[in-house]
Amino acid sequence: MGEPTRVLLDESRIPRNWYNLVPDLPSPPPPVLHPATLRPVGPDDLAPLFPAELIGQEVSGERFVPIPDEVLDVYRLWRPTPLIRARRLERRLGTPARIYYKYEGGSPSGSHKPNTAVPQAYYNAREGVRRLTTETGAGQWGSALAFACGQFGLACEIWMVRASYDQKPYRRTLMRVHGATLHASPSAVTTAGARILAEDPDCTGSLGIAISEAVEVAGLHDDTRYALGSVLNHVLMHQTVIGEEALEQLAVLGETPDVVIGCTGGGSNFAGLAFPFLREKLAGRMDPVLRAVEPAACPSLTRGTYAYDFGDTAGFTPLMKMHTLGHTFVPDPIHAGGLRYHGMSPLLSHAYELGLVEAVAVTQTDCFDAGVRFARAEGVLPAPEPAHAVAATIAEALRCAESGEEKVIVMSLCGHGHFDLAAYERHLAGRLEDFTLPQERIDTALAHLPPV
């Protein structure tokens, strides 16, 4: 029968703990600062937005944090997820590399996002919260949180970036199916949104703007909290179930990865796969290259500045030291809406500064070319976001074809592209464009960095 193509774990093998990278780093990440005092924020500063348990996880020094039984019970709807050998892609590329992908597209929302949406909804419900607000780009996070809120009896209000709101109507439908209230961002229902619309009625929006709107509404109501789908430490930690499962699945095959690849916008998908492998690397048990792939139109790691900045456009959030293009930066309306964020996770930015991970940027058309190539070989259509990881994986495999190296490549295919067929149709018709990002636009936004 030969070697297996898919490694499936029994649901008893769902990880019982999330992994926290911070205790294993050679130096701690810089603190989050209060914008008024420039002093490290404390629990009281975060309490209007997050429940106590998530605040504790955000600053935790524990290496492993137990996953509650109530969360595990929902995880069982789709976890563990499969690790799949891309044999047909290997043959078409003529590469000696062995390519594996961790497929998160079988979740209720079709992506990795429920891995953190479920615990966030659970902890908020346990503390008596009645409603969660959030932002969403392409809609994977919004649909995941809408699903999770439904599981725990919470109302959900979502601001969806206008560019994606217009591009992805069926993502909007899925959020409404799960009971969410939805707004195109910028919207007239918040002060932050109304101000931006007054300046630019045709604004295509950004995740930073949508965050401002969701945070504003959460701060006005005692029964409401805010939920974030990426960037923060606790979000990245929840996603490490991906990498923990992948480690066990590779062990079943007797494989050790040479390269681990994932797309990155705010950082949660890449960190979810890569951080458990980074733990093993820091312990000297393996030595993979960990490669984050971002869009050339929003390249916070490869072209941004490592500095303190706001997490949102209006300046409602604390100051985080991260790779940033500037909180006023509005990316071009690429179809990878989940990667259109001006900054990068502070924890991932710190690991990048320490030289523990590397980053590359890929154009939109290269990603869609790779997505089509992957679908024709493997039968799975990637969302535009993980198509970035697919493009980088194909590039690595082709280098192996030239060198003859038999590398083991592991990538995260964090979601399917079934809601992105309009974008693929544009690509197949030759109507999908690449956006060049002049340095002047970055410089203009960085000129608004807060003085720290």
Q: pLDDT tens digit string along 287-345? A: 999 999 999 999 999 999 999 999 888 788 899 999 999 999 888 777 766 777 889 99
SS3 at position 149: helix
Residue 15 lies in a domain: no
Q: Are residues 156 and 267 in the same domain?
A: no
Q: What is the pLDDT of residue 110?
A: 95
Spatial separation of the C-alpha atoms in residues 326 and 445, rounded to whole Å: 5
SS3 at position 241: helix
E-strand stretches of 325-429: 358-362, 408-413
Q: What is the dihedral of CA 42, 230, 142, 156, to 10 degrees?
A: -10
Residue 387 lies in a domain: yes
Q: Are residues 251 and 321 in the same domain?
A: yes
Range with lowest mean pLDDT among 109-118, 275-284, 331-340, 406-415: 331-340
Structure tokens at 396: 């690595």
Q: Are residues 275 and 361 in the same domain?
A: yes
Residue 170 lies in a domain: yes
Residue 304 lies in a domain: yes
**Among the three residues 222, 252, 269, which one is the final residue of a domain in this structure?**
222
The mean pLDDT of 264-289, rounded to a whole number, is 97
Spatial separation of the C-alpha atoms in residues 145 and 158, rounded to whole Å: 9
Q: Are residues 363 and 415 in the same domain?
A: yes
Range of the domain at 154: 130-222
Q: Are residues 328 and 398 in the same domain?
A: yes
The mean pLDDT of 72-95, rounded to a whole number, is 98
Q: Are residues 216 and 313 in the same domain?
A: no
Structure tokens at 75: 């995880």
**Among the three residues 222, 249, 276, which one is the final residue of a domain in this structure?**
222
Given a cut of 80, whether residue 2 has pLDDT beyond it is no
Q: Are residues 184 and 301 in the same domain?
A: no
Residue 4 lies in a domain: no
Residue 245 lies in a domain: yes
Q: Are residues 290 and 171 in the same domain?
A: no
Given a cut of 50, whether residue 181 has pLDDT beyond it is yes
* pLDDT band with cut points at 50, 70 and 90 for residue 260: very high
Q: Are residues 383 and 350 in the same domain?
A: yes
SS3 at position 215: helix
Q: What is the pLDDT of residues 340-391, one digit of tens each?
A: 788 999 999 999 999 999 999 999 999 999 999 999 999 999 999 999 999 9
**Among the three residues 222, 255, 290, which one is the final residue of a domain in this structure?**
222
Spatial separation of the C-alpha atoms in residues 82 and 104, rounded to whole Å: 8
Query: Considering its fold, how many domains does the chain have in total?
Result: 2
Q: What is the pLDDT of residues 32-67, one digit of tens each?
A: 999 889 999 988 888 888 999 999 999 999 999 999
Residue 56 lies in a domain: no
Q: Are residues 281 and 427 in the same domain?
A: yes
Q: Are residues 295 and 250 in the same domain?
A: yes
Spatial separation of the C-alpha atoms in residues 60 and 65, rounded to whole Å: 9
pTM exceeds cut of 0.75: yes
Given a cut of 90, whether residue 412 has pLDDT beyond it is yes
Q: Are residues 355 and 212 in the same domain?
A: no
Spatial separation of the C-alpha atoms in residues 183 and 161, rounded to whole Å: 9
Q: What is the pLDDT of residues 139-173, one digit of tens each?
A: 899 999 999 999 999 999 999 999 889 988 999 99
Residue 148 lies in a domain: yes
CATH number, domain of 166, equals: 3.40.50.1100
SS3 at position 60: coil
Structure tokens at 8: 């499936």
Q: What is the pLDDT of residue 335?
A: 73
Task: Determine contact, residues 172/182, Cβ cutoff 8 Å.
Answer: yes
